[in-house]
Structure 1
């Protein structure tokens, strides 16, 4: 079904309708290889719509969900071992949604799912250094010199880590609660970093990604990102 180009661009989370009109007038939008005209309509199912040379996601509308992933779910669309997967928590969406990055089986917290493959790739590419913040419960208590090692970068088996931000929150019996922010996305990186300084993680939750946080979402709940939030994510990358 045909719709005005400015509406399609706004629905894709790129900008407002008014700004999209300015982009069309400036020649930044093309339909089927030719410059678009103001007031033109197109059908994203059959027409190739490009902004600054990049195609809009098929269907024209970006879906991006912020999920509070529960522990025990695999960050995948399917699992050969038959374990529960995160897409089962968002079954009401017919579109094929992909997790942005990964949280391991026992890690809970903020996870994005989207049908925009380009956005997912940009958010996870190392060069964009999107900050991710975790709340970790560790065994023992993190000493000041150990925190400094994490903050300055620590050598793991796959190379040194980039500097992290570390904040000791509180101690609780034989455990400590630490907030740590990193700009990388290696496999089990936070857990391995704490293990390297002698404090295995007993519980881990991602609480923020860039400017997004969990808010009031309970495990298993999700909300849809607004067009403005999607636009801000794209601006970050």
Structure 2
């Protein structure tokens, strides 16, 4: 059996420094002026913008007792807004956490099949948080959590091109030349996957360890791309998301990203 990847011993988590799309975005209201209610509720951690829009369509959100008809309603704050009849608390300061998601958990609040969720494994004392993106059931490693739905959305958007880094242990045979071609992108069964930078890290008697960097979050992307190359992934670990790494965390550990690092990360997204 191949040895697990090297892991640093427990130590104080170092401060992370952000690394340094030109896609056109629809202009939004000024940050110091009225904002769409969907954006304000997302920032308050109620739900993502898309989920807020669905909740409005379901008649679950009201302003001064009147059900809202559109998520485009502009407000300066959430005074008088209720969700399911309950007043919305003012948005708390934005917080971001690193969490080492263990294998065998789903990235959701609940599972109809009764499987363990990340919320079953979070340490006590965390505020209400939402995951940034997803890691599939058997993938482990860095999962960012935030109480700010707007930050969650921005970190997930393809146009922000935040780099995700992984280490994969895979059985089979592959050459570096084959991995290099992934940088051009690849289409598998009608689904296009963007550029992936992949490097052979080391080889054991029966397995390869491969390092991968990508800027998308498509479902099971790494596993599907490597399977297309004839490799069977037996372990997959996300090691970094943007400037934040897994360093210093053990499975089920979580810690808060320092405010100075959070501010730098957010600034780099603009």
TM-score (norm 1): 0.74
1:29-62 alpha-carbon deviations (Å, 9 max, x no partner): 74889xxxxxxxxxx9xx839xxxxxxx943312
Q: Do 2:176 and 2:199's aligned partners in 1 also have CA atoms closer than 8 Å?
A: no
Q: Do 2:169 and 2:235's aligned partners in 1 also have CA atoms closer than 8 Å?
A: yes
| Displacement of 1:65 | 1.2
SS, match of residue 136 in structure 1:
strand
Distance 1:236 1:158, change over 3 A: farther
Distance in 1 of aligned mates of 2:231 and 2:248: 30
Q: For residue 239 of structure 2, what is the aligned residue in structure 1?
A: 207
2:247 counterpart of 1:218: no
Q: Which runs of 5+ in 1 are unaligned?
A: 1-27, 34-43, 50-56
State the 4+ residue runs in structure 1 displaced beyond 4 angstroms.
Answer: 28-33
Equivalences, count: 191
SS, match of residue 137 in structure 2:
coil
Distance in 1 of aligned mates of 2:261 and 2:33: 26
2:183 counterpart of 1:151: yes
Q: For residue 117 of structure 2, what is the aligned residue in structure 1?
A: 85
Q: Indicate the RMSD between aligned Cα atoms, in angstroms.
A: 2.3
| Displacement of 1:158 | 4.1
Q: Do 2:176 and 2:200's aligned partners in 1 also have CA atoms closer than 8 Å?
A: no
Which of the residues 164, 168, 176 maps onto 2:200? 168
TM-score (norm 2): 0.65
Q: For residue 230 of structure 2, what is the aligned residue in structure 1?
A: 198
Q: Do 2:196 and 2:213's aligned partners in 1 also have CA atoms closer than 8 Å?
A: yes
Q: Which runs of 5+ in 2 are unaligned?
A: 1-29, 36-43, 45-75, 79-88
Distance in 1 of aligned mates of 2:225 and 2:116: 27
2:106 counterpart of 1:69: no
